[in-house]
Amino acid sequence: MNLSVWESFDALASFVYRSGHVGVMRRRREWFDRMASAYQALWWRPAGHRPTVANAEERLLTLRAEGASPFAFTFRERFPSPEEDGARQDDERWGCPAGP
């Protein structure tokens, strides 16, 4: 399990697609078997909220079962952050409690 928090979608995309990470990922089949289902999930969270492994597992399982949604999505099927839609940090659209 790998869980990381990024300041913005653009910062994450820049790391994934425009850094030394690209070279490593091109060789991933040397180290990993091909996954039959989704193995990563993206989601928005309020500033200061620290996601847990349980949060990540719930998001990934939901993505696998229901497909991309604002609750869990992929690079290919991105959803805007609740903040972009004017949601406050305590708004239920975040799908997680505000704060640590």
Residue 98 in this model has a pLDDT that exceeds 60 = no
Per-residue pLDDT of 16-27, as tens digits, reads 999 988 888 889
Q: Percent of the chain at pLDDT above 90?
A: 49
pLDDT value of position 2 = 85
Question: What string of DSSP letters covers 18-31?
Answer: SSTHHHHHHTGGGT
Per-residue pLDDT of 13-60, as tens digits, reads 999 999 988 888 889 889 988 888 999 999 999 888 899 999 999 999
pLDDT value of position 93 = 66
The pTM of this model reads 0.80
For 8, phi and psi rounded to 5 degrees? -155, 160
